[in-house]
Each structure stands twice: as C-alpha cells, then as structure tokens.
C-alpha cells in the first residue's frame, strides 16, 4: 500500500511537470485559492463559534434578572473587554437611551426611534463582520469548477492536436492531454467543494445569529419603552 501511494504521488507530480504551461498556471492558481479558502474556513469557524458563545454568555447575564444600568456600566468601563455581537447592540442602544433620557420633554416614541436606529447601525456592523470572507468562499465555490473545466478543454485540445501529428493514433499520444484534463478538473473540484460546503454552513449560522440579534433588539426596545413610560408616569 505504501508503494502504491508513493507511486501515485510521484505520478501526480510527474503529470504536473509534464503539463503545458497554461495548465500548470491553472493548477497552481487553484491550489493557492484552495489554501486561502481553507484559511478563511477555519477563521470563520472561530468567529462564528465566538459569536455564539458571547451571545449565550450575555443573554444568560441579561435575562438572569440583573440590573440593566449595572450591566451597561460593567460593559462600558475603560478596563472592560471590547464588546461585540449582541453585547454591542445592547451597549449602543442603552448609550443612546441614556443620552436622550437626560433631555426633558422628549417624546417617548422619538426616544425609542433613536435607540432602535442606533442598534440597527450596530447590527449592520455586526452583520458586515460576520459576513466577511463569505463572498470569497461563494466565488471560489462557483468559479473553481469552471477554471478546472477550462483546463479540461485545453487538455483535450492538446490530445486532438497530438492526434493530428501522427498517422496511427495510440493511447500514448492522447494520454498526456487526457491526464492534464483530469488533474485540472480534480483540482477545480478540490477547491470548490469545501468552499461550497463551508459557505452554506456559515450562511445558515450567520442568519441564525442575525435573527437572534433582531429578536433581542425588539425585546430590549420593549424593556426601554416600559422604563420610559414608567418615568413619564412617575413625573
């Protein structure tokens, strides 16, 4: 088995060396793109995992009955860790609420509209961060097979060109071109398949996170509305 594996490795390297310059460029390009996409796949995995963990941690703290003002004070301290995800939505919304709440006579609906606008801006930033690199994975997944197909067509063209130069066609004349076609196609699939799988997975994860953020925004806005109405009634 080891000998067979070694022979396979050597044959792939030999095929690459014997391939035409264009096919070699395509294979190298697909290999580099595949390595970049794998780097982004693992990086995005950590980003999404941390986003879910931070959301769980914050919601456990927020819905455990703690004081909202104290939670905001803890998260906005200078020595506190940078907030992100759902915590960033909370800090942005409550900061705007605290600033406008000091203005006497401001209607409650205008106050809440400003708070929601501030949280939507923060949500847009979080979405942009979560969706980073996803367009690249989508591009790799959609374009790589066509790049491999281009190499396939080029290899088949070389095969027919080799046939035109001989009187009697044999497998030896067409094998190099067919080998170029197969190795380029395989490299295109090697780059495309993981990118497509990762893209679909992370798009679903990001959509679930965004839905979770939007639900929190609505619930938090309701809490602030009740708090504002209570203050107006007390005054």
Q: pLDDT digits over 79-105, tens only?
A: 667 788 898 999 999 988 888 877 776
pLDDT the model gives residue 64: 85
Residue with tokens 């395989």: 186
pLDDT the model gives residue 167: 62
- Inform me whether the pLDDT recorded for 7 exceeds 60: no
pLDDT the model gives residue 2: 45
Residue 59 · residue 148 · CB < 8 Å: no
Cα(191)–Cα(173) distance, integer angstroms: 29
- Inform me whether the pLDDT recorded for 141 exceeds 70: yes
Q: Kindly indicate the confidence band of residue 196, based on its pLDDT and cuts at 50, 70 and 90.
A: very high
Residue 187 · residue 27 · CB < 8 Å: yes
SS3 for the chain is CHHHHHHHHHHHHHHHHHCCHHHHHHHHHHHHHHHHHHHHHHHHHHHHHHHHHHHHHHHHHHCCCCCHHHHHHHHCCCCCCCCCCHHHHHHHHHHHHHHHHCCCCCCHHHHHHHHHHHHHHHHHHHHHHHCCCHHHHHHHHHHHHHHHHHHHHHHHHHHHHHHHCCCCCCHHHHHHHHHHHHHHHHHHHHHHHHHHHHHHHHHHHHHHHHHHHHHHHHHHHHHHHHHHHHHHHHC
Torsion sign across C-alpha atoms 187, 189, 194, 198: positive
pLDDT the model gives residue 165: 61
- Inform me whether the pLDDT recorded for 139 exceeds 80: yes
Q: Which of 59-68, 85-94, 101-110, 117-126 has the lowest mean pLDDT?
A: 101-110
**Cβ-proximal residues to 132 (8 Å cutoff; 6+ apart), any chain:** 44, 47
Q: Which one of 75-89, 105-119, 162-176, 183-197 scores highest in mean pLDDT?
A: 183-197
- Inform me whether the pLDDT recorded for 28 exceeds 70: yes
- Gyration radius of the chain over CA positions: 29
pLDDT the model gives residue 227: 81
Q: pLDDT digits over 146-169, tens only?
A: 988 888 887 777 777 766 666 665
Q: Kindly indicate the confidence band of residue 210, based on its pLDDT and cuts at 50, 70 and 90.
A: very high
């Amino acid at each position: 088995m080891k000998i067979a594996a070694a022979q396979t490795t050597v044959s792939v390297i030999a095929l690459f060396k014997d391939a035409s310059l264009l096919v070699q460029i395509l294979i190298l390009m697909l290999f580099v793109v595949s390595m970049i996409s794998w780097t982004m796949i693992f990086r995005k995995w950590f980003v999404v995992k941390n986003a879910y963990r931070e959301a769980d941690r914050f919601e456990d703290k927020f819905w455990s009955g703690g004081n909202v003002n104290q939670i905001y004070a803890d998260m906005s301290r200078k020595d506190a860790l940078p907030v992100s995800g759902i915590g960033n939505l909370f800090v942005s919304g409550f900061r705007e609420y605290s600033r406008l709440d000091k203005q006497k006579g401001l209607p409650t609906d205008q106050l809440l509209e400003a708070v929601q606008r501030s949280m939507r801006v923060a949500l847009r930033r979080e979405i942009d961060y979560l969706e980073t690199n996803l367009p690249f994975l989508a591009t790799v997944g959609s374009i790589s097979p066509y790049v491999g197909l281009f190499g396939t067509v080029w290899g088949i063209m070389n095969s027919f060109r080799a046939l035109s130069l001989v009187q009697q066609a044999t497998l030896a004349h067409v094998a190099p071109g067919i080998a170029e076609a197969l190795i380029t196609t395989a490299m295109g699939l090697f780059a495309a398949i993981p990118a497509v799988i990762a893209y679909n997975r992370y798009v679903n994860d990001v959509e679930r996170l965004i839905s979770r953020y939007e639900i929190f925004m609505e619930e938090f806005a309701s809490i602030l509305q009740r708090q504002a109405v209570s203050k107006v009634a007390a005054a």
